[in-house]
Each structure stands twice: as structure tokens, then as C-alpha cells.
A = this chain, B = another copy of it.
Amino acid sequence: MNDYSQMWSDLGIDIPSHNILMTALPELYTDVYLSQPDRPQGMAYFDGLISQLHGERIQELLEHKQRGGKVLATMCVFVPEEIVLACGAIAVGLCGGIDWATNEVEKVLPRNMCALIKSFMGFKLGKVCPYFEVADLVVGETTCDGKKKSFEVLGDYIPVHVMETPQMKNLIDYQMWDAELQRFIEVVENLTGNKISAASLQNGISKVNNKRKALQRLSATRKADPSPISGKDALLIYQTAFYDDIDRFTAKVNVLCDELEQRISAAATQHTVPDKLRIMVSGTPMAVPNWKIPHLIESAGGRIVFDEMCTGERYFQNLVAQPEGKSVAQMVTDITRRSLEIDCACFTPNQVRIDKVIAKTAEYNVDGVIHYALQSCDPFTIEGFRMEKQLKEAGIAIMRLETDYSQEDVGQLQTRIEAFLETLAERKG
């Protein structure tokens, strides 16, 4: 394994703090991931990817920058990677899955904010996220109050461009997001010095669509019973989708899918035992290394087969229309259309999300839904109440959980999850 100390130091990373982080993660990963039995061979690539997330991947981004390329860091599925790619830049995610530098964060943000926002602020203030340090621009958005106002604070430490995301799906919202995409194109063109052409945007759309198709294929394999991949492994792939080189990532997901589809065929002929309990997780995104709830669910004997989250279906469930033969303006309109199909809780009303969850529980043969929300995330916590009500009316078992990144409530969560799974098992008979 290469030594990246010099690279991190050159980036301005706080080396002693970063060493603490880098020491803690492998142990957690071994416990949560490597201890799983019967993992697909194709997961080896993603194990390597996660171990090199602060190393080799950052080196690649630096090499891209040395060739004159730019890096844009984002926190949201609304930010159009197609446009970033069309300008020859790379889009990456930001660190936000673990409490960090909380004392520093609480000097600039309120204490009772969602863990994700406090985390990304902590990674920046604590200088332990190389994606922040390598990024030329952070692209924020207004999907929730916490992010909207925190990006103002973040702007004190790094250049930030904020996109105004729509809150409804009326005609004017399509026009608004179209205008926001045009404004974003100007920003990325100015940053990179590259003008978008029909050919480059077509290329960007195709690359991102291919990534989404590979992830859709992965998701489809999970309809099989037994599901050929653990929920934790699937989540890891959804999480790393924000960081890896897009073409390599897409290829590796497809290789994994080949293996998973072979597993399904083999399981069918061998009459393999079906999943004990098939679970859907729905709610707020889970950033690396936030594996707390999936680990508890699968340790208690559940098998997660559907992730109704931004680190999950919401990231890839819709494609941009085929771009061939279209003008830049037409393709931008197509990106707008896809964006307005997103069923994030930032929209009002957002009945489409609840309808989808109900439909997917049937399609994926789900025994129960666990609705997960970060504490103080108003959009998802409030929508969780409505989802619970409607799923119960539809006869679907659901449990709502609210938590954060601490380990203090793990015992309590474990008890609740085990009790829920017991109820599901009795129901299943």
C-alpha cells in the first residue's frame, strides 16, 4: 500500500487527525463488511475502492487537476453530473457519514442539526476530507433548510455555488430548474474554460445513464429470493457511486451483476433457501461510513433488498431521455424532466414517493419497511409519519427510526429492530 502522507500534507489535511480516522475505519469495515459470509467475488473491487477512497482515488483526481481538469464536490442527487462531465470536469461526493470536529462545528452551526450537515462541516473545519481539499468548487443546493443555510457558512471556507432546487412540480418549477441548469452551465464553463457542445453533453448524459443502468441492473437482481447480495454490500456500491471514476465504476458494477445473475440461476436450480425476512430501508441518505442501521438489520437476520434513499434508488431510478441528435437546449430540458421525477421529501406534495414504496414492496417481495431518518431532518421525519399511516392502511408493516451518527442508541435500536423482525417473522409464519 502506497504512503499518501505527502499528498495529504500537500492538500492541507490535518495529518494527526486524519491518521485517527484512517486507523478507525479498517476495523469498522472488517467488522461490518469483511465478516459477512458468502460475499460475491465482485465485491473485492469495491472493498479496494473504499480502502483507497482517501488514497489512490484522490491521487487520480490530483492527476486530473495537473492536466488542467477541475473537480466539483456535491452532496445531492439534483446536481447534474452530466453537465460537469460535459465540461471535462469530475463530480465527487463529500465526506459526511461520521461525527467529526463537533466542537468546531458548534461554533458556526446550531447543536441540534442533522448529523449529515454537522458531519460535512466538521470534515471541512477539521481538514480531514481530501475531497473538500481537492475540490475547486462545492455545488450546494436548497433541498432543505439545514443545507441551504449551512452552505452560506461553508462559503466562508471554500468556494460554493448554490443551486435553487424546486419544491413543487408545476410548470414554473420546470422553467425554474431549467434556468438553474443554464446558470450552472455558465458557472462550470467559466470554471473549466470549456464550452459545452451537443457532442460533449451527449457524452456526459450517456456516461451517467450507463452508470444508472448498471445500478438499476444491480437493484433488479435483488428482486430474486434469496437476494444474491447483502443489503450492506449493495449500499456500499450506491455510496461509492458518488466517488469513483464513472466508466470504471460502471464496468465493475456490470461485472458484479454478471456474477449476481449467475448466482440467481444457480440458486433457482439448487432450490436455495429463500431469505428469512426481506426488508426495505427508506429515508434519508447514508453517507460512508454510516452503516449503522443496515448492520443492525442484517445482524438481526433481516436481508435488505431495496434502498429507497438518495444512496439507493433515488440516485438511479430515472434516466435522462436518449440524447442522440438533440441540441444542448433540448438535452437540458431532458435533464430538467429527470430532475423533476426525483421523489425527495423536499417536494410538496410528495405522494409519489409513498406510492412508489407501496408498489416496490410488492415488486421486491418485501416483508417490512424500516423508515430511517436522521434526527432534525424535518422533510423526511415528517413525511415518515404520513408514510407510516398510509403503509399501515395498505397492510404493510413499517417501523420508523430516528437516529444520528452516535453509538449511544445502538442498544435501543437493536432491541427495536429485533422486535420488529420478530413481528414480521410471526406474520410470515
Q: Which residues of A contact B (CB under 8 A)?
A: 108-110, 112-113, 142, 144-146, 148-153, 162, 164, 166-168, 170-173, 175-176, 179-180, 183, 345-346, 348-350, 375-376, 378-379, 381-383, 385-386, 402
Contact = CB atoms under 8 A, between A and B. Distances in A.
Contacts of A166: 164
26 contacts: A108-B385, A109-B382, A110-B378, A112-B375, A113-B378, A144-B145, A145-B145, A145-B346, A149-B348, A149-B379, A149-B383, A150-B382, A152-B348, A152-B349, A152-B382, A153-B382, A162-B168, A162-B348, A164-B166, A164-B168, A164-B173, A171-B179, A172-B176, A172-B179, A172-B180, A376-B378
Contacts of A152: 348-350, 382-383, 386
Given A383-B149, A386-B152, A172 B175 contact: yes
Contacts of A162: 168, 348
Given A164-B168, A170-B164, A151 B112 contact: no
Nearest to A349: B152
Nearest to A389: B108
- Top 10 A-B pairs ranked by shortest CB distance? A149-B382, A145-B378, A172-B179, A110-B381, A142-B167, A164-B168, A145-B145, A146-B378, A148-B348, A172-B176
A123 B236 CA distance: 45
Contacts of A144: 145, 378
Nearest to A162: B348
B112 A376 contact: yes
Contacts of A145: 144-146, 346, 378-379, 382
Contacts of A376: 112, 376, 378
A348 to B, nearest CB: 5
Contact of A110 (B164, B173, B382): B382
A72 to B, nearest CB: 19
Nearest to A179: B172
Contacts of A176: 172-173, 175-176
B183 A167 contact: no
A327 B312 CA distance: 50
A391 to B, nearest CB: 15
B112 A382 contact: no
B112 A153 contact: no
A137 B217 CA distance: 46
A170 B187 CA distance: 15
A110 B175 contact: no
Given A348-B142, A348-B162, A385-B109, A378 B168 contact: no
Contacts of A382: 109-110, 113, 145-146, 149-150, 152-153
Nearest to A142: B167
Nearest to A149: B382
A167 B148 contact: yes
A329 B387 CA distance: 40
A97 B122 CA distance: 35
Greatest chain B CB density within 10 A among A151, A167, A378, A381 is at A378
A345 B149 contact: yes
Q: Which of A173, A180, A345, A385 has the most CB of B within 10 A?
A: A385
Nearest to A377: B145
A153 B385 contact: yes
A148 to B, nearest CB: 5
B183 A170 contact: yes
B149 A378 contact: yes
Contacts of A175: 172, 175-176
Contacts of A381: 110
A151 B348 contact: yes
A126 to B, nearest CB: 18
A381 B109 CA distance: 8
